[in-house]
Amino acid sequence: MVRSKKFTHSEYKKRLIKTWNEIAPRYHKRWAKNNIGPFKSSSELVKLANIRPGHAVLDLACGTGAITKRIATKVGISGKVVGVDSSISAIKIAKKEINNKTNLDFVLSDAEFIKFNKKFDVVTCQYALFFFPNAQKVLQNIRQYLKKNGTLALTLHGNKDTVPYFSSILDVITKFIPDYIPQGTPNLDRFGTKDQLKKIISQAGFANIKVQEYAFTYRPGTFSDYWQNYLKYLAKPLKEKIKTLSIVQKQKMKNQIKQNTLPYTKKSGQIIFPWRVLVLTAKCS
């Protein structure tokens, strides 16, 4: 078996930036701008973060700005929102859809190296903590820029057993293509339970930690829709890896993926996936 070399943190991040620069438009169109599946969490995050008019809010790893804009509406003209992301393509989409909001800025930066000359009332971060190879360093940074008693509010996917949308495909593909997820990639599942999440947040020195669990659902259509859409939205390097399989292997892989989806497939052929989401709030002491 040919094993790809192990990524260092900076190589992993470079690759992630490239991936997000490629997929941001597709991600925005399919997920972020629609209030579907896990994105039903956006309104919960804004509610639990207790964002009020006049607040200064940092939205870390803001992506295409879907939630950042919601927050801007909430803080009003007396407040301010800064969205930070390391993908220029995501930031461009976010900026394009600002709709003349003057209380909103977007900054291109790695979450590990943010620098501001002011502190925030609230820091939000939706579906991104697991992407940071040094999540602890990012959390220390956040503390530096949160006011005393300021709020940290995070949204994460539940662990893989609770999000079969991901695991139905990935558990099988990684058997057929062992280097599909290259060595050195952080485990994206590592903050997927209440205990794991609370642990890293408390290690970073936050207090009053609360985690709310949600059981959302997502309907990707039939198995064929699910599989075709997965391929359509995939970044090029992964598409290339799938192309290396023979037709027979590909069919075998597809059959095994289909088996995984059967527990969630209705008589009509439509799949309804459960989707666990965790929303954490904590205070900066």
Ligand X SMILES: C[S@@+](CC[C@H](N)C(=O)[O-])C[C@H]1O[C@@H](n2cnc3c(N)ncnc32)[C@H](O)[C@@H]1O
Of 277, 273, 181, 174, residue with least CA distance to 225: 273
In the bound complex, what is the minimum distance in angstroms from residue 57's beta carbon to ligand X? 13
Using CB under 6 A, pick the residue from 51, 86, 165, 223 that binds ligand X.
86
Q: How many Å apart are CA 263 and CA 135, to the nearest integer?
A: 34
Using CB under 6 A, pick the residue from 110, 186, 200, 270 that binds ligand X.
110
Residue written as token pair 């995501």? 90
Q: Which stretch binds ligand X (CB under 6 A): 57-65, 139-147, 182-190, 252-260?
A: 57-65
Size of the site for ligand X (CB under 6 A): 21
Residue of this chain nearest to ligand X (CB atom): 63
CB atoms within 10 A of CB 132: 22
Q: Which stretch binds ligand X (CB under 6 A): 120-128, 140-148, 198-206, 248-256?
A: 120-128
Q: Which stretch binds ligand X (CB under 6 A): 124-132, 141-149, 193-201, 269-277?
A: 124-132
In the bound complex, what is the minimum distance in angstroms from residue 74's beta carbon to ligand X? 15
16 contacts ligand X (rule: CB under 6 A): yes
Within residues 220-279, the interface with ligand X by CB under 6 A covers: none
Within residues 125-184, the interface with ligand X by CB under 6 A covers: 126-128, 131-132
Using CB under 6 A, pick the residue from 67, 139, 154, 284 that binds ligand X.
67
Using CB under 6 A, pick the residue from 49, 56, 58, 62 that binds ligand X.
62
Sheet of 146-157: strand order equals 104-108, 80-85, 56-60, 120-126, 146-157, 271-284, 206-221
Q: Are 274 and 264 in contact (CB under 8 A)?
A: yes
In the bound complex, what is the minimum distance in angstroms from residue 6's beta carbon to ligand X? 19
Q: Does the CA dihedral 31-130-200-56 come out positive or negative? A: negative
Residue 60 phi, psi (nearest 5): -85, 135
Using CB under 6 A, pick the residue from 20, 106, 145, 275 that binds ligand X.
20
82 contacts ligand X (rule: CB under 6 A): no
Using CB under 6 A, pick the residue from 46, 49, 51, 66 that binds ligand X.
66
Residue number with CB closer to ligand X (93 or 284): 93
CB atoms within 10 A of CB 5: 10
Residue number with CB closer to ligand X (131 or 191): 131
Q: How many Å apart are CA 45 and CA 2, to the nearest integer?
A: 43
Under the rule (CB under 6 A), what is the footprint of ligand X? 13, 16, 20, 32, 61-63, 66-67, 85-87, 90, 110-112, 126-128, 131-132
